[in-house]
Structure 1
């Protein structure tokens, strides 16, 4: 990692970078902005879509993490975001699994990473001197313990780096605009009712309101139009084939739960450190670097 002054994103597992910020990554790379994605675990506890790689899961061969390094490498290539960078090196911390599962008790689980994870991220920040840092909100987007832990360590590392020589100018949380999500989901529901060909792949279903409400959707300050980068985001999603399926239409995707979600033309953020730059008529920033020289 030699580029400085760019965008640093801290994510919990391979595929998180694409699902929540893939459009933003590709959008800024198209503008020549240095982008570094730091991933905190290998995603060893993930589920697997389909039969071909199903025995790689933690309960069987426990080889999924290594396989997902390849998926992440391909996804970042699709986004033009360079090579993967794992916090502390590949395999330093393990996917903690969902709350209350035995995997969280593993001493190597990311939720048990302590000050060492903060120190490792401080070192990255001091080396890169990013102008913008992005991670999850305090709920981790949807409550996964590793997402919450990524929020905790990034918040602590940004503060510590400021005391050690680099005060990150702007720090954001990645969130979702609930209104836009519901609009696109309603449009999908209408297409399904109208029985348009390919509206929803076999076995998929529409999300329930409670499932939409579980996602972080409040406090949006910044909206990035990623319509110019949606094709790259789709390619990156397809690279994470053990975790994500993109509908033939390219407008929706699903995880292993087969719940259809729209591929949005915007990505949303909450500014939590730094000064908001110029806003549009809608009251939102439209550039993560707004107000920076």
Structure 2
């Protein structure tokens, strides 16, 4: 079976992602020693105990929240691990932070690999998409783990040197923002038309034979099956950071990314109960055109009377 091996791995972080990844690895024949500061499912009570349970050369996969939790965990592992060991950061780390970690760990002969992981809560069942960055020979060493985590048909790529994995995942998530926004706008347009009676059925029909069929479309049709008019939800969307990093990187590299940028701004707009910017627009329209502040355009031609 793909991924079946006698390899051993330490998993730090047993939340929704890390816990499911550990379970999938075990199902595929990988021995996993799990640690989480809060989880009752942990196998050890400290990072030091985790390191002690692993046979050299050790491989430890870190799946904790990005920022200080990841930074602190990698730093402590750097103190506990030995020459020849490997640390994999599978969290949503900003790629610019990877190089410094790699250099710091290399001083002790510890290899650092960055891994962008996609698949969410469905990854245990369906497999994950994984993008890794690091030295080729060390990526090859963890191939059994990568193959166990990904679908049988594939799903991982050695994207390049350290930082490339998290960079590729950042771009992946930026694209995801744009795709989600397009589906959302299509839904609203059909709902506003008064012409399409079966919006859930329309999305369902797109799942076969169309160019927009995708896993995101599958998830949308599932959501509409559970709540056809989405009345149980509030129109509010967070962003986890990668969308912002993608847009900033596009600015830094002078690469036009209008769809991803607009999708990110749409998420910001969703958090405003009454947009201050739109209040200014309404006030200005009222001042120069004598429009009623609360007036809504019902016919297309009314929308262009400024």
Please state which band the TM-score falls in when normalised by the shorter chain: 0.3 to 0.5
The structure with more radius of gyration: 2
Larger relative contact order (Cα-Cα within 8 Å, sequence gap ≥ 6): 1
How does the TM-score come out when normalised to structure 2?
Answer: 0.34
Bigger proportion of residues as helix: 2
